[in-house]
Structure 1
Amino acid sequence: MIKYLMEKEFKQLLRNAFLPRLIFIFPCMIMILMPWAANMEIHNIYLNIIDNDHSTLSQRLVDKIAASTYFRLTDLPDSYAVGLQAVEAGTADIILEIPRGFEKDWTNGSSPQVLIAANAVNGTKGGLGSSYLVQIIRDYAAQLRAEQPAVLPSASGGVPSIQVSSQNLFNPYLNYKLFMIPALMVMLLTLLCGFLPALNIVSEKEVGTIEQINVTPVPKFTFILAKLLPYWIIGFLVLTICFGLAWLLYGILPVGRFGVIYVFAILFVLAISGMGLVISNYSTTMQQAMFVMWFCMLILILMSGLFTPISSMPEWGQLITYFNPLKYFMQVMRMVYLKGSGFADLFSQLLALLAFVLFFNSWAILSYKKNT
């Protein structure tokens, strides 16, 4: 039975002269144009400082950085390895390591060197965060020179300063396309597998063909599944095309495995299509459904971390993002593409997407009214 229902759906889809073209032209345009146009602002950068000197001058530097409005000092780890674990876990965006002998080198007229290691999964955030930190360190060096003019002649005959060496973790060249392209793939799946099938159901309500289905012995679960499966197949086909375009156009391949992406994509598609079905069940016209879906899409995108990092949002905004399935799948895509994360690293995202799958699909099945 489901075979013939799916055949009907594909015929209806292909009968439309415009929609099949749009389905394949849209991802190509998104992948080619959008990575060049996206931009972000950065606030609330999580910082770990490793103070190996534990001197007065190093503590003053720590205090000066902590007082900045750009950074949130989250921890003072004992070693660089511990700080790097915080970056891996996502609890730190930047590590600043102050070496031993920092105060001694400055007092002797040498230029001490500090290390900045930035999480460059978000290249813009890592680059701007490092720039903010370098500027604070330079201001601190100028302040020390003003306080201690006696140390101005250095051993090399120049003016002493604090030298900064930088590392960009996971994205050494700060290529922002590495950050944007995986997230744009999430947007495509949301549109193709979440909202298009929901609009298809509402269109059947408007033309009256859904009433013919309602009086047949077709179970509502079978009917809904037949509505969704063609778009799921198209969605995964488009996702695969996007992988190829990302490689051909930008030379971008995931550090992790494609299998991890596909498993999470299945969960995300189930969740977002369930959400679309809920909207379609409560909509009676295409205009009403499109208005509600546009509203939901706008909120989901803006609150997903696509353009603005979630940590830069106000606290009430960060709370809202916990109920956004796009947020979790974007995290998965970016972590697999740039960090090579596996299932063990993505366990919290796995649980969140499973919860969305159960919630939205249960709601969709219970809210669908079928007259027998």
Structure 2
Amino acid sequence: MIKFLLEKEFKQLLRNSFLPKLIIGLPIMVLLVFPWVANQEIKDINLSVVDNDYSPYSKRLIQKITSSGYFRLTATPFSNKEAMQGINSGDADIILEIQRDFERNLMTEGVAKVLISANAVNGTKAGLGSSYLSAILQDYAGELREESGVAPAGYAPVPTIHIATYNKFNLYLDYKVFMIPAFMVMLLTILTGFLPALNIVSEKESGTVEQINVTQVRKFTFIIAKLIPYWVIGLLILTICFLLAALIYGLSPVGNIVTIYAFAAIYILVVSGLGLVISNYSNTMQQAMFVMFFFVIILILMSGLFTPVESMPDWAQIATIVNPLKYFIQVMRAVYLKGSGVGELTTQLVALAGFAVCLNAWAVMSYKKRE
């Protein structure tokens, strides 16, 4: 019986001319655009400099700041009041005001004052921008001390420490390398969640589900026949994502790709099971779509995709325990970047397997079949 049900499901999918375009087009769009626009690196901060000294030292400082790659000099107003107008209009993110006698104070007293003002509408950008600027100023002060051979007042000369940095797993600190595996999980969630969610309810609207209800098909067999096509589609989408990541970004898993496919096979059952549960309780496609959208948004925002789970409030960290998306993102990043194996991902395996069993059992029990 399941053979005929599967044949029916695949025929329905193949008759949908939009589905192949969605399966191929959405991964291409997401992986081409999202890794670039969802970049949390802070660069090209608009800097306005009020130089009240106009000395070689102040000009050298400005040159050092602009050559760092983090700041873009957009204005050099003559007063702090004029510079503040740039912040009010949104043209400036940070103002650096160099006090009068900056060079003389550095040479005679070893101390000079500057003022940093930040546009804190975007708190993250303001905080990081001020930190970057402060670090550059400290580095500049260190350069001047080394050149003059004079230690700060009241302190003995401090030996110079040369630091060598090695970034394991992400050598060049490329944010895209960290985000692309997570975007693959997001794609898998959207497509293998929404499509099953609309499946049963669409048959309710068309009346074909009533024909199934009067047959001897068991509920378990019916749900399995619904799951398998989307399970195949999910693995196909994942394969397309792997190829795109390799071709566009040169990114391939450090670990065994079979490990990813094994976890993906379980995860697709989890998300498709959730979609079928929602479809069972929905009466219209619109209702199913909005309910699924509600859950997917929450799962994505609380998965650690954009912000670390550890940075969330305690109550949110507890809530993420029942978020399957979090576990699969951890798997993808661990295998892709660190080369982790199944032995290191036991917690994620048990969690995803538990979700798969519970949600699909719920899908079977919640399906109302006329006996």
Residue 149 (structure 1) aligns with: 154
1:239 paired with 2:238, answer yes
**How do 1:119-130 and structure 2 match up within 5 A?**
none
Residue 223 (structure 2) aligns with: 224
Cα RMSD (Å) of the superposition? 2.6
SS at match of 1:360: helix
Residue 203 (structure 2) aligns with: 204
The amino acid that maps onto 2:21 is: R
User: What is the rounded CA distance, in whole Å, between the counterparts of 1:150 and 1:296 in structure 2?
Assistant: 59
User: What is the rounded CA distance, in whole Å, between the counterparts of 2:187 and 2:246 in structure 1?
Assistant: 17
Structure 1 residue 264: Cα displacement: 0.6
The amino acid that maps onto 1:149 is: G
Residue 193 (structure 1) aligns with: 192
Structure 1 residue 200: Cα displacement: 1.1
> TM-score, normalised on structure 2?
0.69
The structure number with the bigger radius of gyration is 2
User: What is the rounded CA distance, in whole Å, between the counterparts of 2:41 and 2:362 in structure 1?
Assistant: 37
In 1, are the aligned partners of 2:273 and 2:356 still within 8 Å (CA)?
Answer: yes
Residue 86 (structure 2) aligns with: none
Residue 322 (structure 1) aligns with: 321
The amino acid that maps onto 2:32 is: I
Residue 285 (structure 2) aligns with: 286
In 2, are the aligned partners of 1:40 and 1:308 still within 8 Å (CA)?
Answer: no
The amino acid that maps onto 2:18 is: F
SS at match of 1:307: coil
User: What is the rounded CA distance, in whole Å, between the counterparts of 1:315 and 1:162 in structure 2?
Assistant: 39
1:147–1:208: structure 2 CA closer, same or farther, 3 Å change rule?
Answer: same
The amino acid that maps onto 1:11 is: K
User: What is the rounded CA distance, in whole Å, between the counterparts of 1:165 and 1:230 in structure 2?
Assistant: 52
**How do 1:113-192 and structure 2 match up within 5 A?**
135=135, 149-152=154-157, 163-192=162-191
SS at match of 2:3: helix
Deviations 1:274-304 (A, max 9, x none): 1111111111111111110111010011111
Residue 3 (structure 1) aligns with: 3
SS at match of 2:282: coil
Structure 1 residue 240: Cα displacement: 0.9
User: What is the rounded CA distance, in whole Å, between the counterparts of 2:10 and 2:243 in structure 1?
Assistant: 25
The amino acid that maps onto 2:275 is: G
Deviations 1:329-351 (A, max 9, x none): 00000000000000111111111
**How do 1:74-113 and structure 2 match up within 5 A?**
none
Deviations 1:233-282 (A, max 9, x none): 11101111111111111111111001110111111111111111111111
Identity %: 64
Residue 53 (structure 2) aligns with: none
The amino acid that maps onto 1:210 is: V
Structure 1 residue 165: Cα displacement: 3.4
Residue 110 (structure 2) aligns with: none
In 1, are the aligned partners of 2:198 and 2:285 still within 8 Å (CA)?
Answer: yes
In 2, are the aligned partners of 1:305 and 1:327 still within 8 Å (CA)?
Answer: yes
Residue 342 (structure 2) aligns with: 343
SS at match of 1:167: coil
Unaligned ranges ≥5, structure 2: 43-127, 143-149
User: What is the rounded CA distance, in whole Å, between the counterparts of 1:290 and 1:258 in structure 2?
Assistant: 32
SS at match of 2:273: helix
Residue 356 (structure 1) aligns with: 355
Residue 62 (structure 1) aligns with: none
Residue 307 (structure 2) aligns with: 308
1:147–1:271: structure 2 CA closer, same or farther, 3 Å change rule?
Answer: same
User: What is the rounded CA distance, in whole Å, between the counterparts of 1:267 and 1:229 in structure 2?
Assistant: 12
SS at match of 2:164: strand
Unaligned ranges ≥5, structure 1: 43-127, 155-159
User: What is the rounded CA distance, in whole Å, between the counterparts of 1:6 and 1:161 in structure 2?
Assistant: 71
User: What is the rounded CA distance, in whole Å, between the counterparts of 1:370 and 1:318 in structure 2?
Assistant: 38
In 2, are the aligned partners of 1:39 and 1:307 still within 8 Å (CA)?
Answer: no
In 1, are the aligned partners of 2:39 and 2:176 still within 8 Å (CA)?
Answer: no
Q: How many residues align?
A: 276
User: What is the rounded CA distance, in whole Å, between the counterparts of 1:41 and 1:361 in structure 2?
Assistant: 40
Structure 1 residue 313: Cα displacement: 1.4
Structure 1 residue 148: Cα displacement: 5.6
> TM-score, normalised on structure 1?
0.69
Structure 1 residue 16: Cα displacement: 2.2
Structure 1 residue 192: Cα displacement: 2.4
The amino acid that maps onto 1:320 is: A
The amino acid that maps onto 1:189 is: L
User: What is the rounded CA distance, in whole Å, between the counterparts of 1:149 and 1:164 in structure 2?
Assistant: 26
SS at match of 1:172: coil
SS at match of 2:165: strand
1:258–1:150: structure 2 CA closer, same or farther, 3 Å change rule?
Answer: closer
Greater Cα offset, 251-260 or 176-185: 176-185
Deviations 1:151-208 (A, max 9, x none): 24x6xxxxx5655432212101111121111111111221222221121111111111
User: What is the rounded CA distance, in whole Å, between the counterparts of 1:304 and 1:231 in structure 2?
Assistant: 22
1:312–1:40: structure 2 CA closer, same or farther, 3 Å change rule?
Answer: farther
1:342–1:148: structure 2 CA closer, same or farther, 3 Å change rule?
Answer: farther
1:8–1:322: structure 2 CA closer, same or farther, 3 Å change rule?
Answer: same
In 1, are the aligned partners of 2:193 and 2:274 still within 8 Å (CA)?
Answer: yes
Deviations 1:121-150 (A, max 9, x none): xxxxxxx8xx88x959x69x98xx998634
Deviations 1:22-66 (A, max 9, x none): 122111111111111113489xxxxxxxxxxxxxxxxxxxxxxxx
In 1, are the aligned partners of 2:197 and 2:292 still within 8 Å (CA)?
Answer: no
User: What is the rounded CA distance, in whole Å, between the counterparts of 1:292 and 1:276 in structure 2?
Assistant: 10
User: What is the rounded CA distance, in whole Å, between the counterparts of 2:153 and 2:334 in structure 1?
Assistant: 46
User: What is the rounded CA distance, in whole Å, between the counterparts of 2:332 and 2:352 in structure 1?
Assistant: 13
SS at match of 1:166: coil
